[in-house]
Amino acid sequence: MQLETKVGPANLSSGAPSQLRSDTGGGLLAQVYGGKYAEAARAGRLFCVANAAPVTTSKDNDVTWTGLGIANPTGSGKNIILHEFGWAHQIAGDDDGLVGLATTTDSGFLATLTARSCYYGTGTSIAECVATATIVAPILERVCGTHGMGAVTVQMAVGPNIVDLAGSMIIVPGRSVVTWTSEITTSVLMFSFLWEEVDA
Amino acid sequence: MDLIGIEGRRSAATGVNQLRVDMKGGLMAHRYGGKYTEAALAGRLFVVASQGAVTTTKDDATTWTGLGVGNPIGSGKNLIMHEFGWSLIIVGSDDGLVGLASCAIGTDFEALLTQRNCKWGGGPSVAYCDSAATIEAPILERVCGTHGMGTTATEMSKPPQIVDLAGSIILPPGRAVVTWTSEIVTSGLQFHFVWEEIDA
């Protein structure tokens, strides 16, 4: 079967049928529209969570960890597809270092923070979100920026410090992703995650 | 056979739908999802990060240190590089440029660091990931940013220094990509790479 298109623009009225249009090289012309996460959000598969207040972060691969984390509990039947990670100072930092993302198991996680559907009232997340837990030693996987100690009176604004993960981290049942800082920061940083949940 | 679409937005909840075109006959395509989701879910996406601040070598030094990903000879795979991230963990010891270079994998490049599947349990990588090796003279291919010696007492934070390579570097068997700095930076930088592996 040979599928054919037509070169050159049409001038269609609403509801009119038309051959699909191609360029002179035979490539199909497509107008991309909509936000890339709109379909998942409307279907109730997209969720987010953020710290409610600045958190004190633990250092390096400390197992008495604090920050923001998401676990996919063992037996959930879902995969978590991570799309976005955000981080920012709320006040001046008290130490300098690196912000990253690490992964570990779901050990130590509880649903102490509430994951919110990106389409209010649609869908329920299986994720367990926490700001503090005793975890299995995490492994750093992503390097996401540098936090400093600059005074808030010097810079007008910083960021956004948002990492487009674009689905490049899949958290399977029994695994988790946690924020990672190379140094302890004391009640200055806040984090957020955006993710999608699909059947495993 | 003509590909026919209908002009105008419809409100079809489920079932079979006709394709939608704009007024000029172009296909209306709604982008959806993260661009790496499919590869990650399929277990083809991998990541590696420096597990501590590394000292980098200067320019095209063959006694190289930093972070590198190599595709061993005979792997049967191509490595499609998607993302490179870098950050200072402390005040830089020198100012200069951060880039990416490529070289032959040589004989000293080894699997010193453990790369991780972006979907836990999703299968092994063929790549060798190393932080120090005697390599063949690298050739700088990408200019990715400037590292300075600014005090951490001035800046609140630096945004994610993440380069969307978007598949623009392909490592066939026998080739490697390595971090490149114009000057020696002493225990100040950490890096990460995200890549996909497909049959060569």
Residue spans per domain, chain B: 1-30, 37-199
Query: How far is it, in rounded angstroms, from Cα B200 to Cα B180?
Result: 26
A58, A59, A60, A64: CA torsion to nearest 10: -40
State whether A16 and A98 are in the same domain.
no
pLDDT reported for residue B11: 72
State whether A23 and A60 are in the same domain.
no
Give the DSSP letter of residue A16: -
Tell me which range, A13-27, A101-115, A156-170, is most confidently predicted by mean pLDDT: A101-115
Query: How far is it, in rounded angstroms, from Cα A103 to Cα A29?
Result: 41
State whether A62 and A6 are in the same domain.
no
A129 inside domain: yes
pLDDT reported for residue B12: 65
Query: How far is it, in rounded angstroms, from Cα B194 to Cα B85?
Result: 9
Please, what is the average pLDDT of chain B? 92
Task: Print the domain residue range for A164.
Answer: 45-199
SS3 of residue B138 by DSSP? coil
> Which residues, in sequence order, are CB contacts of A30 under 8 Å at separation 6+?
B26, B27, B28, B29
Query: A interface mutation test: which of B81, B155, B161, B192 has the most A CBs within 10 A?
Result: B155
B25 lies within 8 A of chain A by CB: yes
Cis peptide before A73 (omega within 30 of 0): no
State whether A167 and A72 are in the same domain.
yes
Please judge whether B119 and A33 are an interchain contact, meaning their C-beta atoms are less than 8 angstroms apart: no
Query: How far is it, in rounded angstroms, from Cα A170 to Cα B37?
Result: 8
Please judge whether A96 and B152 are an interchain contact, meaning their C-beta atoms are less than 8 angstroms apart: yes
SS3 of residue B191 by DSSP? strand
State whether A15 and A92 are in the same domain.
no
A25 inside domain: yes
pLDDT reported for residue A116: 94
Q: Which residue of B23, B122, B159 is in closest CB contact with A145?
A: B159
Give the pTM: 0.89
> Which residues, in sequence order, are CB contacts of B11 under 8 Å at separation 6+?
none
Given a cut of 80, whether residue B17 has pLDDT beyond it is no
Q: Which residues of B touch A11 (CB under 8 A)?
A: 23-24
CB A89 within 8 A of CB A188: yes
State whether A153 and A106 are in the same domain.
yes
Q: Angle at CA B124, nearest 5°, toward B161 and B136?
A: 60
Residue of B nearest to A7 (CA): B25
State whether A112 and A79 are in the same domain.
yes
B4 lies within 8 A of chain A by CB: yes
Please judge whether B8 and A99 are an interchain contact, meaning their C-beta atoms are less than 8 angstroms apart: no
pLDDT tens profile A65-99:
999 999 999 999 999 999 999 999 999 999 999 99
Given a cut of 90, whether residue A9 has pLDDT beyond it is no
A146 inside domain: yes
Please judge whether A97 and B26 are an interchain contact, meaning their C-beta atoms are less than 8 angstroms apart: no
State whether A72 and A119 are in the same domain.
yes
ipTM value: 0.84
State whether A103 and A141 are in the same domain.
yes
Burial of A153 (0-12, 13-18, 19+ CB in 10 A): exposed
Query: How far is it, in rounded angstroms, from Cα A84 to Cα A163?
Result: 6
Query: How far is it, in rounded angstroms, from Cα A47 to Cα A194?
Result: 6
Q: What is the total count of domains within chain A?
A: 2
B155 lies within 8 A of chain A by CB: yes
